[in-house]
Chain A
Amino acid sequence: MSIAVQDARALLTKGLVAVYKEMPKTTSFLRSFFTVKESMTEKVSIEVRRGSEKVAVDVTRYDDGNLNIVSKSTEKLIKPPMYDEYIIANDHELYQVAVGAIQTGQGETYFKQLIDGLAEDMSMSVDKIYRAMEKQAADVLETGVVSLTNNANIDYGRKAASLVAYGAARDFSIATVNPKEVFLTALKFIREKGKAQGSVYNAILGGEVLSALFSNPLFQAEGDLKDWSLDSIREPQRNSVGGTLHGQISVGSYKVNLWTYPEVYDLAGAQVPYINEKKMIIIPETTNFVMAFSAVPQLIENGGVIPQKGAILMTEYFDMKKTAHEMHAKSCPIAIPVAVDQIHTTTVLN
């Protein structure tokens, strides 16, 4: 490849006045509902014992009483998928410059730029993994099935009643539909089947669902009631993890925070929202979900370097014969809805 002429004339004919590097950071709104647990094992497991709300039956004075037993539970073992993203450091545009500059006395300057550049490239690679985690969380909340490409999907078996398909009776864009009835159905499921006992819930709405809700005349009418303060819709407030809070409404005996999450990921050139635009997800304010990290395969190296646990494992590999310097980011995460029936998803719009 020939050397471009402008390489030699650049300083004389032009000046670089600004640089824009498009590096959208990954937000973590959906992951924020999952508690992080790290493990040094290949698999992770949860043990779940579902409970009941039975009522004691009175007995006579000369009765042996009612014998209660607590003997059933389910153990779920999961081998999390592995993500492995890497760059080739010596392919970086500044790598050879830095090597060459060592002879000129400017090596330190170029080396710092190289390190910054490699750090940026690795950061973008790591963001891909974080987006995969965020998508796992979205999958759990939307369907209960973590969709994987090169591994079997992980299906948490959400109850059919927690995955409500579209129906005109639940369509917020129809003027006669009362959205709060739809909310209440979801809240009753989470309370009765999921055994959640809080009074405040989070509703994560697709963008179109939010618009339809705010345009619904029955919803608007309730907000207009004089001397009642059932709902509080305010200007959108973005929080630090990317969720946008639109206010709080009252539904039956509960309060519901209205959230949207206007974040997307790239898929085959298209931008896909993490939260389906036509769906509504409701979860308790205090969730019982886990983002578990199992061990990334590692060796005990010479010199006593022991395997590490953590969310992301950064490793470097040098191959002197092939003159290759690879930098890898590896992770084995899995989003787990420990209390699986404390999620309710409704397809609101067609």
Chain B
Amino acid sequence: MSTGTVVKDTSNQLNINIDSSFIFLGSNSYERATYANGTGSTVTMLAGTIMGRVSSSGLLLPLAIGATDGSQHFVGVLTETVTVINGDSKQVSLCIEGKVAQDKLVFNAAEDLESVVDGRQLKDIIAGQGIKLVATDELSNFDN
């Protein structure tokens, strides 16, 4: 899905940077799951966020390698940006299989693909679930 970012906006000039790149590149499978916001404030999770699941409730959370409630384990990649107000819950879509653009993954604050969970790096855990991370080479750019 294309995203547009306004970079200049005057009474007679409007410049928009358009990014039409994809996160999910093919052979993808998806499933739905629930995210419940109990953080105390509105949460926005970006498309590409890697997600974990709380073992006791089955609810999603952004993956955090330091967690011990089960959300330290990878379950899928969030397919769309979602905003959930405090106390609300929302069905969201996860990609659980197929090719995914590696540079589009969104991590929680501390994680990256080399982060270790239960003795394995995240990239191996993700690959083991059937997600093929693909490095992309962007050949275009925005104008001045």
Contact = CB atoms under 8 A, between A and B. Distances in A.
Nearest to B132: A64
A11 interface: no
Contacts, number: 109
A340 B15 contact: no
A108 B88 CA distance: 85
A269 B88 CA distance: 69
B67 interface: no
Contacts of A72: 17-21, 138, 140-142
A73 B21 CA distance: 11
A67 B137 contact: yes
A78 B8 CA distance: 11
Contact of A81 (B10, B12, B14, B22): B12
A50 B142 CA distance: 6
B57 interface: no
Nearest to A48: B143
B105 interface: no
**Contact residue range for chain B?**
20 to 34
Interface residues of A, number: 33
Nearest to A148: B12
B12 A154 contact: yes
Contacts of A151: 11-12
Task: Identify whether the interface residues of B are mostly helix, strand, loop, or mixed.
Answer: strand
A156 B138 CA distance: 24
A161 to B, nearest CB: 11
A76 B15 contact: yes
28 contacts: A49-B140, A49-B143, A50-B140, A51-B139, A52-B139, A68-B137, A69-B22, A69-B136, A69-B137, A70-B140, A71-B19, A72-B18, A72-B19, A72-B138, A72-B140, A72-B142, A73-B142, A75-B4, A76-B14, A77-B14, A79-B11, A79-B12, A152-B10, A152-B12, A154-B13, A157-B144, A159-B144, A340-B143
The 8 closest A-B pairs by CB, nearest first: A71-B21, A74-B143, A48-B143, A157-B144, A50-B141, A79-B12, A77-B14, A152-B10
Given A49-B140, A72-B18, A75-B18, 16 more contacts: A48-B143, A51-B139, A52-B138, A52-B140, A67-B135, A69-B138, A69-B140, A72-B20, A74-B142, A74-B143, A75-B4, A75-B16, A76-B16, A78-B13, A154-B13, A155-B8
